[in-house]
Amino acid sequence: MSYKAIMKDGLWDQNIVFTQLLGMCPTMAVTTSGTNGLGMGLATTAVLVCSNAIIAAIRDFVSHQVRIPVFIVIIATLVTVVDMSLNAWMHGLYQVLGLYIALIVANCAVLGRAEAFAARQPVLASALDGLWMGLGFTFALTLIGLIRELLGTGTLFSQASLLLGPSFAFLEMTVLPNYGGVLMMVLPPAGFLVLGFLLAGKRLLDGRLAARAPAAPSAIAEGA
């Protein structure tokens, strides 16, 4: 499998949220703002890269029958270590993300990648798969978060400087000043609504691309 194909799968074709529909618990819970989505996505990416690499490294020594408990124990350990390190050394960030870190264990996408990819591929390819799958997840969460934040409170990336440092304060925008806010967009139902519309949009886009493919195969090959 080529590294390019791994990238394309992770970001688009096999996107954790938009295609595999995995990791719905963090997707619905944290996407109340773009910043929250971004932070959760990046934390998940870090865990995915490490868990994929470790599991690929020991894949030959793990028997098929006990692989699931082995994977789970490794993932849970990584998440706990990330949680403790953030709490001790990056406490400002921990106060923003703290609630969500433990949720990564419950993200079946991490176990899914271990089972579907890292258990049968070499270390480098698995780490890259973790990276691109994680970035695809980050992209999806940030997009859903931004849409809900814009419609719900009229801002974009509020509190981004808490997450990324003061130099990123320029990201914080109030797009609709004096906007009363739509409470429902911040509550859980809007997560499902926004995801539903985005899924439909992606299907439409993929359908258009597929319909155009036979007519102009060279353009698609280059574009891919």
Partner 1 sequence: MSALAAMREKLSYQGISLGFIALATSAVLAMANMATHDGIVKAEREDLKTSLSQVLPVGYADNDLLTDTVRIAGADGSPVIVYRARKAGAINGVVFQMAQRGYAADVVVLIGVDTSGRMLGARVIKHSETPGLGDKIDIAKSKWILAFDGKSLGDPAPEKWGVKKDGGIFDQFAGATITPRAVAKAVKTGLDFYAAHKAEILEGKKS
Residue among 62 and 199 whose Cβ is closer to partner 1: 62
Given the rule CB under 8 A, which of 15-23, 65-73, 117-125, 129-137 is the region that contacts partner 1?
A: 65-73
Give SS3 for 134.
helix
Binds partner 1 (CB under 8 A): choice among 5, 50, 51, 62: 62
Q: Centre a 10 Å sphere on the Cβ of residue 198 and count the other Cβ atoms it contains.
A: 16
DSSP H helical ranges for the chain: 3-8, 24-30, 34-57, 67-89, 91-101, 108-113, 123-153, 160-164, 183-186, 188-212, 217-223
56 binds partner 1 (CB under 8 A): no
Radius of gyration of the chain (CA): 19
Nearest approach, Cβ of residue 66 and partner 1 (Å): 5
Rounded CA-CA distance 139/116 in Å is: 21
Given the rule CB under 8 A, which of 6-14, 45-53, 60-68, 118-126 is the region that contacts partner 1?
A: 60-68
Residues numbered 182-211 forming contacts with partner 1, rule: CB under 8 A: 183, 186-187
Torsion of CA 37, 43, 45, 47, to 10 degrees: -150
Given the rule CB under 8 A, which of 73-81, 103-111, 163-171, 211-219 is the region that contacts partner 1?
A: 73-81
Q: How far is CA 4 from CA 7, 12, 57, 125, 219, in A?
A: 5, 12, 22, 11, 17
Binding string, residues 92-131; x marks residues near partner 1 by CB under 8 A:
--xx------------------------------------
Nearest approach, Cβ of residue 193 and partner 1 (Å): 16
Q: How far is CA 20 from CA 46, 48, 49, 113, 173, in A?
A: 20, 16, 18, 11, 32
The answer to whether residues 159 and 54 touch, using CB atoms and an 8 Å cutoff, is: no
Nearest approach, Cβ of residue 112 and partner 1 (Å): 20
Applying CB under 8 A, the site for partner 1 has a residue count of 28
178 binds partner 1 (CB under 8 A): no
Residue among 2 and 178 whose Cβ is closer to partner 1: 178
Binds partner 1 (CB under 8 A): choice among 14, 15, 31, 32: 32
Question: By the criterion CB under 8 A, which residues form the site for partner 1?
Answer: 32, 60-66, 69-70, 73-74, 76-77, 80-81, 84-85, 87-89, 91, 94-95, 181, 183, 186-187
